[in-house]
Amino acid sequence: MSVDLTVLFRSLGLFAATAVAELLGCYLPLLWLTGKGSAWLILPASLSLVVFVWLLTLHPAASGRVYATYGAVYIVMAIIWLAVVDGVTPSWNDYVGVALALLGAGVIALGHRPA
């Protein structure tokens, strides 16, 4: 079983960028709805969600396995967002959840190989 590291890191980078665009597109309206920001935040939020959808089209394949892997990367990025943007220190439960999500995505992504 040979893994091309260039493709792997490019895919992980694309997954991370997609997750950040999705998180930002959801976070900015939350700021407005909670009174911590202006209604004008809807404009960059909309742009971020457009970028998110565009980035989804760049993923290697539009299959359930790819999106399952993206889901795990999204969970990782959400916990990083929690720490960096929200200033909340992740708990051991967060770390275990991230590990389980990545393990599950690895089983899905790497466990299915064409014969």
Q: Model confidence at 106, in pLDDT bands (50, 70, 90)?
A: confident
Span of 48-62, 82-96, 100-114 with lowest mean pLDDT? 100-114
What is d(CA 17, CA 15) in angstroms, rounded to the nearest whole number? 6
Provide the total of helices (H) and of strands (E) in the chain, helices listed first: 4, 0
- Measure the CA–CA gap between 115 and 109, rounded to whole angstroms: 15
Question: Mean pLDDT over all residues of the chain?
Answer: 89
Mean local confidence (pLDDT), 43-61: 90
Q: Per-residue confidence at 113, pLDDT binned at 50, 70, 90?
A: low
What domain range is 78 assigned to? 5-111
Total count of domains within the chain: 1
Structure tokens at 113: 């190989």
Indicate if the pLDDT at residue 1 is higher than 70. Answer: no
Q: Give the whole-angstrom CA distance, residue 104 versus residue 68.
A: 9
pLDDT at 42 over 90: yes
Closest C-alpha among 58, 96, 60, 63 to residue 79: 96
